[in-house]
Structure 1
Amino acid sequence: MMYCSKGHENPDRSRYCLECGEKLVEASNTQPGIIGDRYRIIRQLGQGGFGRTYLAEDINRFNELCVLKEFAPQVQGTYALQKGQQLFQREAGTLYKLQHPQIPKFRELFQASLEGKKHLLLVQDYVAGASYRQLLNTRKQQGLQFNETEVTQLLQQLLPVLDYIHSLGVIHRDISPENIILRDADYLPVLIDFGGVKQVAASIVSQFSPADPHATVLPVTRVGKIGYAPPEQIFSGVVSFQSDLYALAATALVLLTGKEPQDLIDEQTLEWNWRREINLSPQLGNILDKMLVPRASDRYPSARQVLQALNRSVPKQPAPQVPPTIVTKPPVTNAASATSSWQLQPASASYYARSHSLSVGKVFGIGLLLMATAGLSWWGTRLWLHSRMASMPEVIPTISPIAAPTPTPQYSTVEQNRKNQLRDRRQQLGINDSFYNALVNQLFWEERPEQRGKTLSSSPADAALRSEWDSIAAEVLNKLQALSPEARQQLGKYRAADRDRWKVSVNKLNLSSRTLYDLTDATFFHLFPQYKGQNFINQPIGQVWHGIATDKVQRLVSGSGYEKIAFTQENTIQQVRGNLQPGEGKAYIAQLTKDQLMQLNLEAEPRVLISAYSPTGSTVLLEDSSDRTWSGKLPETGYYEFVVVSTASAPVDYLLQIIAD
């Protein structure tokens, strides 16, 4: 199968997405969808100025997920391509030496043909998790931001990573909320998308792009996001260890305030003015201020010294982990990625060339030039502050739970016992506490919208509301009990990568994701009928849908969730009988031929629905239909899918008959 950038599923060798019309990636290899004889493209994650980023499976490593970064700057000529490959290989070799648990491992660099052109591709580990941009967007939707304890913890966890790469002479160049991933496995921040590769790409374009006689500016060669990258990096291309410290501090303030750098820099003085937005401890505030001073030499000289200053100012107590996040794109229409797109951000319209040697007689003139450059740079910053971020890629919002009321000695004995019973039952079911609170909060707020975002107090005034919350919690646990233990333990951790794996698993059975989603929807809407017609995947309740889907995949793979119907020349009529429990379904596949006449008959009560899909999904014969018959000429050859689901509240019988001429 092939996938567009929005995650829509298409047949192999498709040129355009059947759902949105996007031109699809074509791989010119002996196996469709395979690059470099070992990487199966699952979907495109993003696209930048020099190439695309893909999520792929390494078929030589048990279909392990990985990320492919394409290097394809628009340059012409054999020499330019060879020079680009040489520089790119050198940078990739540097990244390959990085061996740190909070940095994705760079696996290899290889050349492959894409769309008839030679491209370089860099392979690195895939990090399952959500970016801090995604986490922040969710909190902003709830009127929240990261607190000082969380940001302090983030700094303490990332500064050793910077100290490690700096000790090897490597500078990240592009630290921002997009390029920090909260890893699902251990909830540690992971630093991704190093800017060195993008800087090579920018340099190649600058040196070898055809000159435009009408151009009024020189090619853009700066890497880094305006507002996050310090002035010397944006306007002069000068980077140092202090450049990463500046970007990390800017990231911290964005997480703390929920506002972008252009909203935190004073338009008149062009100085950071974050104190009007948030009150921080003097110790942390002073550390961030020193990391953000305009002159690199006035900042901390190393990440280790920042960490030492931070540890001196922070009491020795364990900081709470950032709670797990929840994927939010609709499974049928989109599949999101946790990895940022590989993209060069817009920088200065012009830049200054720097000489590698200076004579004594030129010192005075150079000093004046540097002063003029600094003034012009700050002037330019002021003009660009309002327009930067326009190209910031869209990200997937996530849900960060607000803690539910917790038992305190002020509760009555009856209420305390009730809460203890809920806690014990949740633990027995193996459900994550943070996710559980987020889910119950969502359902509670939908019943009581005036309470949204509020924390219930332990006072008698909130006793009735606490009782409602506990009642909803008990009902939720009853419904989640139907999930398998494995599915329950993953609640709050499901990601787009899980849906990608499910697609691959069911495709091997000649089933599509539509069939999987039909079966999942039937059970989900039986448990939560209020979400029909809603985009619920971007909410905690969407994780329950994922848990149900996990169990459906297991049933299909085991063979108990679907059945193959075989026709012979002597027997052109096949029929199957079944019994469906409420919210359950069954899938069938039959191999049929193009232009063959088929008649479909279903005997069942109206609350039994049927869907029928062609092999590639390009034709939907029936979809969640109460019709009891269909007949016509088949549009293509392959395995047709038939899905029968029940929306009844009691067990129902059905008889499915297929006549193939």
Structure 2
Amino acid sequence: MTINVYCSKGHENPSASRFCLHCGEKLDAAINQGIQPGQTLGDRYLIVRQLGQGGFGRTYLAEDINRFRELCVLKEFSPQVQTAYVLKKAEELFQREATVLYQLQHPQIPRFRELFRSNFNGKEYLFLVQDYVEGQTYSSLLDQRLQKGLRFTELEVTELLLQILPVLGYIHSLNVIHRDISPDNLMLRRIDQLPVLIDFGGVKQVAAVVVSQYYQPNTGAVTPPATLLGKFGYAPPEQMQTGLVEPHSDLYALAATALVLLTGKQPSELIDDNTLAWKWRREISLSPTLGIVLDKMLSPIPQQRYQSAQQVLQVLNPPPSYYPPTQPPAPIRIPKSSTAATLAVSPTSPTSPTPPTSHTPHTWWTPDKIILVFLLLTTSAVIAVWGANSLLLSRFDDTKPQPTPTFSPTKQPLDPLAQYSPAERSRKQRLRDRRQRLGIDENFYVSLVNQIFWENNPSLQRRSLTNEPTDEQLRAQWDKTADQLLQKLTLLSSESRQKLGTYGGSDRDRWKVEVNNLNVSSRALYDLGDAAFFQQFPEQESKNYIDQPIGQVWHAFVADKLNAIIARSAFQKINFDPNATSKTVSGNLQSSAGKVFIADLRQDQLMEVNLAANSQIVWSIYSPTGKYVFLEDSKKRSWSGKLPESGFYEFVIVSRSSQPLSYQLTLTVENPTPIPSPTPSDTPTSEPTPTPSDIVTPTPEATSTP
């Protein structure tokens, strides 16, 4: 398995690199031989992969073994000076910062878990452990848009400000300043599409203090320089010059972030070098309100800025809640309270409520009006006896609140299905009950049905279906699509169904580690998942579906196949008896099922393998590193040749039939290596196999026969 190395700026390089291919920085080979995937730290955290690297250490994705293998992030700080004094002082400072981070309890801030020290290869490391956020940074999202000639819209950026300013208000109320807000440190969380504030500068502040105070050649005699943190262009001038920060420092950085997202240009391209004024108006045109707000947040004079997040929120008027997704293609999210929960709906922009206005100005009470009111009140009292009091009050007395008409779009019927015919109401009720019994999230369910409905009806161009009689046939078609999808989702396990809508790259990373521990590649795992998924959704085979709602269903099928491999119902080691050169295994495959076989073989051995099975069973043969693919989804029934490398070879068979089919696999090898019976404690004896994207398919020194 190839381990990439990183420079201090986080640039990724091949493992053998001596210099960074991006910036030219010299790479320390000793440092690059650091913590690797599959290793466990603190007897608790299983490393999945490295996420990046900064000036003070690396960041890792890990599994918390003590918390049901929950994913988390480990931020490393590895002092270059390994003395007891430096380690003690560093840990004291980090403990102080950890105490501050522990106080932050906000849904849009990754939760701090703990601080721990670990010794690895004779070197001491300090780690901060935080929750893992599945999503993309706004920097990454912007890069994706720029590649398509797009940028963030004013509506999107205004929404971002409205969603992140309350978070800043919260941390500032606890006397915490982030210090390092930028598109790199804002993430769009996948599960709810909310921005999340990550990578607090306080951790970097501690690391910088340790460096400046305790890494000097003569520690006691050197006065440490001021600790300056922040990214140039994002941090305000006084922060870069003196290191002093206030709440308005974060507001300055947030406004700079907003302009970068709006213009697609870096701060250095927008700031006048002489005056430090922002020249953004030559790039874009904004509404007067947002333009004035950003200018004030970016004032070079701290006293002229907004002094709190609340002040900015009071000036910004909330825009409509919907805007185009920042991570296309994203699932369409339908509010849980929507009455159209079983319709194909396009998000709409609700109007902002109008503030109540006074109907009683100071000069209203003239003598004539007093007499008029007296007559009105008298008349109302008389008519009240006849039961018509409310009618006249609603007509003449505009100082009293008006009842909301039943046809108002802001008032929903008590029964969302009451507007439909009895037959349609009964049909929708059955669908709702069935979805609830299956434990499928309503928002995901609507998004999934919408996707398939629109794919089947491209002429509709993603328009909303109305509740009018003219759309009755389309609603019936939507419900039929929903019924068919629910039937297919019954094939999934209850656990996998309940996770629909939450799967992501972190799950695939975890699955890879789990199957690699069994000497199985993620490619083989995906072969099993593909067979089950494409059996139900053959139309998706040529499409890019991973980031679509239907991609969640693929993840769920793969998750079930992973459990089958771990349970050994879809996985078997081929063990040769003593002095035997051949081994035959046989069995039955249910509809769209599969099985992975592995055999520990050696380079230059001669191998022949035969599969006796129906033509609807296909198979693949992969080498231990995945570099060689001898057969892939093939209907050939034999292969023979000289093996190019040592390790565990994989034989993956899958059924494309809707009926159970039998198979018989015979493996013949010259001088096979006996393998002990599999036990739960088996560990890999070869490099973990890379994912499909890493695999190339040359087949030197190998021949195949039909």
Q: Same fold (TM over 0.5)?
A: yes
CA drift of 1:517 comes to 0.9
Aligned to 1:101: 105
Aligned to 2:593: 584
1:162 aligns with 2:171: yes
Distance 1:568 1:438 in 2: 53
CA drift of 1:568 comes to 1.1
**How has the CA–CA distance of structure 1 residues 237 and 15 changed in structure 2, closer, same or farther, with 3 Å as cutoff?**
closer
CA drift of 1:635 comes to 3.6
1:438 aligns with 2:439: no
Q: Which amino acid aligns with 2:551?
A: G
Distance 2:524 2:504 in 1: 20
Distance 1:548 1:624 in 2: 18
**How has the CA–CA distance of structure 1 residues 556 and 32 changed in structure 2, closer, same or farther, with 3 Å as cutoff?**
closer
Deviations 1:472-494, CA, capped at 9 Å, x for gaps? 22222221121111111111111
Aligned to 1:172: 178
Aligned to 1:244: 250
CA drift of 1:618 comes to 3.6
Q: Which amino acid aligns with 2:663?
A: Y
CA drift of 1:503 comes to 2.2
CA drift of 1:187 comes to 8.4
Asked if 1 retains the 8 angstrom alpha-carbon contact of 2:138 and 2:188, the reply is no
CA drift of 1:499 comes to 1.8
Q: Secondary structure at the match of 1:486?
A: helix
Q: Which amino acid aligns with 2:666?
A: Q
1:419 aligns with 2:428: yes
Distance 1:414 1:204 in 2: 72
CA drift of 1:464 comes to 4.4
1:129 aligns with 2:134: yes
Asked if 2 retains the 8 angstrom alpha-carbon contact of 1:2 and 1:43, the reply is no
Asked if 2 retains the 8 angstrom alpha-carbon contact of 1:181 and 1:190, the reply is yes
Aligned to 1:191: 197
Asked if 2 retains the 8 angstrom alpha-carbon contact of 1:137 and 1:397, the reply is no
Asked if 1 retains the 8 angstrom alpha-carbon contact of 2:191 and 2:502, the reply is no
Q: Secondary structure at the match of 1:301?
A: coil
Deviations 1:592-627, CA, capped at 9 Å, x for gaps? 344333211011233211112233434333222222
Asked if 2 retains the 8 angstrom alpha-carbon contact of 1:582 and 1:649, the reply is yes
Distance 2:527 2:331 in 1: 28
Asked if 1 retains the 8 angstrom alpha-carbon contact of 2:2 and 2:15, the reply is no
CA drift of 1:120 comes to 5.3
Q: Secondary structure at the match of 1:173?
A: coil
1:42 to 42, 45, 48: 48
Unaligned runs of 5+ in 2: 7-13, 217-225, 335-342, 346-415, 671-706
Distance 1:291 1:582 in 2: 62
Aligned to 1:399: 330
Q: Secondary structure at the match of 1:641?
A: strand
Aligned to 1:504: 513
Q: Secondary structure at the match of 2:506?
A: helix
**How has the CA–CA distance of structure 1 residues 232 and 274 changed in structure 2, closer, same or farther, with 3 Å as cutoff?**
farther
**How has the CA–CA distance of structure 1 residues 93 and 188 changed in structure 2, closer, same or farther, with 3 Å as cutoff?**
farther
The 5-angstrom pairing of residues 222-237 of structure 1 reads 223-224=229-230, 228-233=234-239
| Worse-superposed segment, 437-446 or 102-111 | 102-111
Unaligned runs of 5+ in 1: 7-13, 211-219, 326-394
Q: Which has the higher contact order (CA 8 A, sep 6+)?
A: 1
Q: Secondary structure at the match of 1:108?
A: strand
CA drift of 1:628 comes to 0.8
Deviations 1:411-442, CA, capped at 9 Å, x for gaps? 55444443333333222222112222222222
Report how many aligned residue pairs link the two structures: 557
CA drift of 1:204 comes to 9.2
Deviations 1:277-311, CA, capped at 9 Å, x for gaps? 7779x7x998777655553223343456667x589
1:493 aligns with 2:496: no
Asked if 1 retains the 8 angstrom alpha-carbon contact of 2:600 and 2:647, the reply is yes
Deviations 1:124-164, CA, capped at 9 Å, x for gaps? 22324324639977998999977799658724751453235
Q: Which amino acid aligns with 1:90?
A: L
1:605 to 614, 617, 630: 614
Aligned to 1:356: none
| Worse-superposed segment, 603-612 or 94-103 | 94-103
Asked if 1 retains the 8 angstrom alpha-carbon contact of 2:160 and 2:195, the reply is no
Q: Secondary structure at the match of 2:495?
A: helix
Asked if 2 retains the 8 angstrom alpha-carbon contact of 1:134 and 1:396, the reply is no
**How has the CA–CA distance of structure 1 residues 471 and 124 changed in structure 2, closer, same or farther, with 3 Å as cutoff?**
same
Aligned to 2:58: 52
**How has the CA–CA distance of structure 1 residues 498 and 229 changed in structure 2, closer, same or farther, with 3 Å as cutoff?**
same
Distance 1:465 1:4 in 2: 52
Asked if 2 retains the 8 angstrom alpha-carbon contact of 1:160 and 1:304, the reply is yes
Q: Which amino acid aligns with 1:446?
A: E
Asked if 2 retains the 8 angstrom alpha-carbon contact of 1:139 and 1:399, the reply is no
The 5-angstrom pairing of residues 67-82 of structure 1 reads 67-70=73-76
| Worse-superposed segment, 199-208 or 643-652 | 199-208
Asked if 2 retains the 8 angstrom alpha-carbon contact of 1:431 and 1:488, the reply is yes
Distance 1:82 1:628 in 2: 67
Asked if 1 retains the 8 angstrom alpha-carbon contact of 2:3 and 2:36, the reply is no
Asked if 2 retains the 8 angstrom alpha-carbon contact of 1:609 and 1:624, the reply is yes
Distance 2:620 2:547 in 1: 26
Deviations 1:294-332, CA, capped at 9 Å, x for gaps? 53223343456667x589x889xxx99999x9xxxxxxx
1:656 aligns with 2:662: no
Asked if 2 retains the 8 angstrom alpha-carbon contact of 1:432 and 1:492, the reply is yes
Asked if 2 retains the 8 angstrom alpha-carbon contact of 1:572 and 1:660, the reply is yes
**How has the CA–CA distance of structure 1 residues 78 and 314 changed in structure 2, closer, same or farther, with 3 Å as cutoff?**
closer
Distance 2:463 2:285 in 1: 21
Give % identity: 45
Q: Secondary structure at the match of 2:101?
A: coil
Deviations 1:71-117, CA, capped at 9 Å, x for gaps? 579x9x999x9989967973664244321233431633657678x9x
Asked if 2 retains the 8 angstrom alpha-carbon contact of 1:67 and 1:125, the reply is yes
Aligned to 1:560: 569
**How has the CA–CA distance of structure 1 residues 591 and 52 changed in structure 2, closer, same or farther, with 3 Å as cutoff?**
same
The 5-angstrom pairing of residues 441-520 of structure 1 reads 441-520=450-529
Distance 1:266 1:477 in 2: 55
**How has the CA–CA distance of structure 1 residues 499 and 61 changed in structure 2, closer, same or farther, with 3 Å as cutoff?**
same
Q: Secondary structure at the match of 1:54?
A: strand
Distance 2:579 2:99 in 1: 62
Q: Which amino acid aligns with 1:97?
A: V
**How has the CA–CA distance of structure 1 residues 460 and 321 changed in structure 2, closer, same or farther, with 3 Å as cutoff?**
closer
**How has the CA–CA distance of structure 1 residues 144 and 487 changed in structure 2, closer, same or farther, with 3 Å as cutoff?**
farther
> Highest CA radius of gyration, 1 or 2?
2
Distance 1:428 1:260 in 2: 50
Asked if 2 retains the 8 angstrom alpha-carbon contact of 1:43 and 1:56, the reply is yes
Distance 1:314 1:646 in 2: 54
Asked if 2 retains the 8 angstrom alpha-carbon contact of 1:65 and 1:125, the reply is no
Asked if 2 retains the 8 angstrom alpha-carbon contact of 1:68 and 1:121, the reply is no
| Worse-superposed segment, 129-138 or 622-631 | 129-138
CA drift of 1:549 comes to 1.2
Distance 2:282 2:474 in 1: 37
Q: Which amino acid aligns with 1:401?
A: I
Distance 1:418 1:277 in 2: 50
CA drift of 1:560 comes to 1.5
**How has the CA–CA distance of structure 1 residues 611 and 165 changed in structure 2, closer, same or farther, with 3 Å as cutoff?**
farther
Asked if 2 retains the 8 angstrom alpha-carbon contact of 1:253 and 1:274, the reply is no
**How has the CA–CA distance of structure 1 residues 134 and 447 changed in structure 2, closer, same or farther, with 3 Å as cutoff?**
farther
**TM-score, reference length from structure 2:** 0.64
Distance 2:421 2:585 in 1: 57
Distance 1:602 1:559 in 2: 21
Asked if 2 retains the 8 angstrom alpha-carbon contact of 1:91 and 1:200, the reply is yes
